[in-house]
Amino acid sequence: MGLADCGHCRHKFPRRLLGVPGRVGLWPPAPRPAHGIAGGGRSNDLREQGPATNQLLEDLGRRLARAFQPAVASRGRAREAAAAARDQQSWARVECALAALRSELLEMRFQSHQLAKTLLDLNMKMQQLAKEQELEAALESQSPEDNAMNLEHGNSQ
């Protein structure tokens, strides 16, 4: 696997420049060919450079990948930590909202119990008043003679 095979390197180094000495800052510029010697004794064709160059490029690619791996990993850890912090904040907000809702629910229950007690008290008072009204109506409906008789019978008993 060479530098050209690495997905993240493909964007930074054009394929035509990979492995060419003096390009992309990987090696110092190549010496100029000597006069009279075509190509200076060196092959300019990448296919003719041989396996040693390919191994050198692969080794260099591995070294570069290892060199940048901690930076990428630390960025990844930082992203994970930031995501975990966001999740934790989200859960904290949810828990806070739930606590507020629980508090409101307890307050509503308390108010409901107070209203129920008040309604029971009012109902009892209404029943008491209704009985008193019935007694008064019954006493008024009787004739004065019946009232006198009831008083005599009530006193003699």
pLDDT in tens, 87-131: 999 999 999 999 999 999 999 999 999 999 999 999 999 999 999
Q: Is residue 3 within 8 Å of 64, Cβ to Cβ?
A: yes
Q: Which residue has the higher pLDDT, 82 or 15?
A: 82
Tokens found for residue 76: 């990844």
The whole-number average pLDDT for the span 134-145 is 83
The token duo for 72 is 């990428």
* Over residues 130-134, mean pLDDT: 95
Roughly how many angstroms between the first and final C-alpha of the chain, as a whole number?
123
Run of H or E residues at 72: helix 51-141
Q: What are residue 12's phi and psi, to 5 degrees?
A: -90, -35
Number of C-beta neighbours around residue 55 at 10 A: 11
| pLDDT band with cut points at 50, 70 and 90 for residue 141 | confident
Higher pLDDT, 69 or 121: 121
Confidence grade of residue 44 (pLDDT, cut at 50, 70, 90)? low
Q: Which structure tokens are listed for 115?
A: 């209203």
Q: Is the pTM of this model over 0.75?
A: no
pLDDT at 10: 47
* DSSP structural state of residue 3: G
Closest by Cα among 70, 67, 51, 2 to 10: 2
Cα 26 from Cα 58, distance rounded (Å): 13
